[in-house]
């Protein structure tokens, strides 16, 4: 392609300002270039939490957003992933101590299915039964948080550190802990997708009953 063709193609494109969801005050996340608005939908953009909150201590947390809608010159997003940076996670690990992890899938009160991955770091090496008990606390606390919170409120509990603190408070009674973090949260399904899965499951069950009869 000639330089003139490349220049003309670029001129036909336009920049869209990518905005965070209302939960993050529609802050500007960046810009994306496209010829048509529909080409923007589905794109993702990742930023660090400190860029949204102004808290320099939050630069170890990454948030990923997905563009779901486009206006005249703005692209609107939804949150899809929260995760700690690998460097930060590595810095938490100490030789001779235990790292207890869990992966828990839960449904919030407004029917968002999310996968939550907390991690607990002990001061010294815990035995297997202690690690199992700490993991049980993680699972119970995550389920309890989801049962009483919307998706947005659940995310707030992670960003604010409230869920980590709740896990720490109970798990430290089992074995001394140095730190508890939620290392990742991933949006797996939205309410309409969960409803569609449930409807499909009901249809399959009905078909199986009909066959048995």
**CA end-to-end distance (rounded Å), the chain:** 66
What pLDDT score was predicted for residue 130?
A: 98
Q: How far apart are CA 54 and CA 116, in angstroms?
A: 25
When the pLDDT of each residue in the chain is averaged and rounded to a whole number, the result is: 91
User: 85-196: which CATH number, 3.40.50.300, 3.30.479.30, 3.30.160.100, 3.20.20.60?
Assistant: 3.30.479.30
Element holding 7 (H helix, E strand): helix 3-12
pTM score, whole prediction: 0.87
Q: How far apart are CA 65 and CA 85, in angstroms?
A: 16
Q: Where are the domains of the chain?
A: 14-83, 85-196
Q: What is the pLDDT of residues 26-35, one digit of tens each?
A: 999 999 999 9
Contact by Cβ (8 Å): 186, 80: yes
* Residue 58: closest CA among 151, 158, 152: 158
The residue-averaged pLDDT of 75-86 equals 97
Please give the share of the chain, as a percent, with pLDDT higher than 90. Answer: 84
């Amino acid at each position: 392609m000639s330089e003139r063709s490349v220049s003309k193609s670029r001129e036909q494109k336009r920049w869209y300002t990518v905005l965070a969801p209302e939960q993050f005050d529609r802050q500007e996340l960046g810009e994306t270039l496209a010829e048509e608005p529909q080409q923007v939908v589905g794109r993702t953009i990742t930023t660090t939490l400190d860029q949204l909150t102004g808290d320099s201590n939050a630069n170890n947390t990454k948030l990923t957003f997905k563009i779901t809608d486009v206006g005249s010159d703005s692209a609107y997003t939804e949150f899809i992933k929260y995760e700690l940076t690998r460097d930060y996670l590595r810095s938490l690990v100490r030789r001779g101590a235990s790292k207890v992890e869990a992966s828990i899938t839960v449904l919030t009160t407004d029917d968002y299915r999310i996968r939550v991955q907390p991690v607990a770091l002990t001061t010294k090496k815990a035995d297997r039964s202690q690690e199992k008990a700490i993991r049980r606390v993680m699972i119970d606390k995550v389920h309890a948080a989801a049962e009483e919170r919307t998706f947005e409120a659940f995310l707030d509990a992670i960003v604010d550190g409230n869920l980590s603190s709740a896990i720490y408070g109970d798990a430290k009674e089992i074995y001394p802990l140095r730190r508890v973090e939620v290392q990742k949260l991933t949006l797996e399904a939205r309410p309409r997708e969960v409803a569609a899965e449930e409807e499909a499951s009901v249809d399959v069950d009905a078909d199986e009953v009909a066959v048995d009869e």
